[in-house]
Amino acid sequence: MRTLLLGRQGQVGSELLIRLAAHGEVTAPARAVLDVSDLHALRRAVVDAAPDLIVNATAWNDVDGAERDPKGAYRLNRDVPALLGEEAARRGALFVHFSTDFVFDGKGDRPYREEDRTNPSSIYGSSKRAGEEVLEGSSALVFRTAWVWSLTRKSFVSTMLSLARSKEELSVVDDQVGNPTYAADLAEAVATLVTHEAARAGGLFHLAGGGSVSRYEFARAIFALDPRKDEHVLRAVHPVKSEAFPTPAVRPKHAPLDCEKAARVFGVRLRDWREALAAGLGA
């Protein structure tokens, strides 16, 4: 299998790069070589790579920045997957793309299923939803995931670990609930299921870490499981409401994803967030 992977330096992309190599040749241009927002260059890259599998791990992920630059967010989150979906269909290649829990408003009282009504409350969420819409009816595989973390880039986990070493007191929101997803686990699952018979049919799937938790409880687990706790200067962590941290973009409050469909179709389920956190931290 010949793969074109975009976003090789990202949290998910870097983990995918390691795992997709097991399936054959991988072409994975870095951002410095291919800016995917240059759609002509992107199309040329697809033609040159002649892939059987295209994986798009690039995105406009700056949630607050998207409010200031909707055009930029839509270019990355809608126009790029639209072009890749079109090129994949032309070549009969499988296209894998990622979306987000931010397509929901977070006002529900149970984990969201794939068919639940979307209602994004930010430009980032709307642009990612637009990226799903352009792929509807195609044979692309779209995975909605959430709260992706790794230690290799800035993430909630790496930020908390660094704050524990620099602050004596910290306030963390306790009214945002989601599924922490370890980038390595997500990449492992995706690299496995692309070879599954059912992958060819495409579709929209929720794929996130098992279990859900508030940001506050997640932060406490990070501090508790940090194997280098002796370096902490942190003495107190306070739960606060989202209103205590006004941001340009509104975040969904209760947006855990129900991942049963992926388990049913592909037999793939990401482990519980706490187990993944312990493993990722080397606890």
Ligand X SMILES: NC(=O)c1ccc[n+]([C@@H]2O[C@H](COP(=O)([O-])OP(=O)(O)OC[C@H]3O[C@@H](n4cnc5c(N)ncnc54)[C@H](OP(=O)(O)O)[C@@H]3O)[C@@H](O)[C@H]2O)c1
Beta bridge partners, 239, equal 172
HEC sequence for the chain: CCEEEECCCCHHHHHHHHHHHHHCCEECCCCCCCCCCCHHHHHHHHHHHCCCEEEECCCCCCHHHHHHCHHHHHHHHHHHHHHHHHHHHHHCCEEEEEEEHHHCCCECCCCECCCCCCCCCCHHHHHHHHHHHCCCCCCCEEEEECCEECCCCCCHHHHHHHHHHHCCEEEEECCCEECCEEHHHHHHHHHHHCCCHHHHHCEEEECCCECCEEHHHHHHHHHHHCCCHHHCCCCEEEEECHHHCCCCCCCCCECCECCHHHHHHHCCCCCEHHHHHHHHHCC
Report CA 228 to chain centroid distance, whole Å. 27
Task: Please report whether residue 37 would count as binding ligand X according to CB under 6 A.
Answer: yes
Out of 90, 107, 113, 153, point to the residue binding ligand X (CB under 6 A): 153
- x-or-dash string of contact with ligand X, 202-241, rule CB under 6 A: ----------------------------------------
Stretch that binds ligand X, among 20-28, 141-149, 189-197, 259-267 (CB under 6 A): 141-149
Residue nearest to ligand X (CB): 10
Out of 74, 98, 104, 273, point to the residue binding ligand X (CB under 6 A): 98
Stretch that binds ligand X, among 57-65, 164-172, 220-228, 246-254 (CB under 6 A): 57-65
Distance CA 203, CA 216 (A): 33
Report CA 164 to chain centroid distance, whole Å. 25
Task: Please report whether residue 180 would count as binding ligand X according to CB under 6 A.
Answer: no
Task: Please report whether residue 46 would count as binding ligand X according to CB under 6 A.
Answer: no
Task: Please report whether residue 7 would count as binding ligand X according to CB under 6 A.
Answer: yes
Q: How many residues does the chain have?
A: 283
Active-site residue list: 124
Task: Please report whether residue 12 would count as binding ligand X according to CB under 6 A.
Answer: yes
**Closer to ligand X by Cβ: residue 84 or 148:** 148
Task: Please report whether residue 71 would count as binding ligand X according to CB under 6 A.
Answer: no
Task: Please report whether residue 135 would count as binding ligand X according to CB under 6 A.
Answer: no
- Shortest spacing between CB 189 and ligand X, in angstroms: 13
Out of 20, 55, 57, 103, point to the residue binding ligand X (CB under 6 A): 57
Residue count, binding to ligand X (CB under 6 A): 22
Stretch that binds ligand X, among 8-16, 110-118, 160-168, 192-200 (CB under 6 A): 8-16
- Shortest spacing between CB 128 and ligand X, in angstroms: 6
> What is the Cβ-side half-sphere exposure of residue 19, based on CA atoms within 13 angstroms?
19
Distance CA 63, CA 48 (A): 32
Out of 4, 10, 104, 132, point to the residue binding ligand X (CB under 6 A): 10
- Shortest spacing between CB 153 and ligand X, in angstroms: 5
Out of 4, 5, 26, 36, point to the residue binding ligand X (CB under 6 A): 36
Question: Which residues would be at the binding site for ligand X (CB under 6 A)?
Answer: 7, 9-13, 31, 35-37, 57-59, 61, 76, 98, 100, 145-148, 153
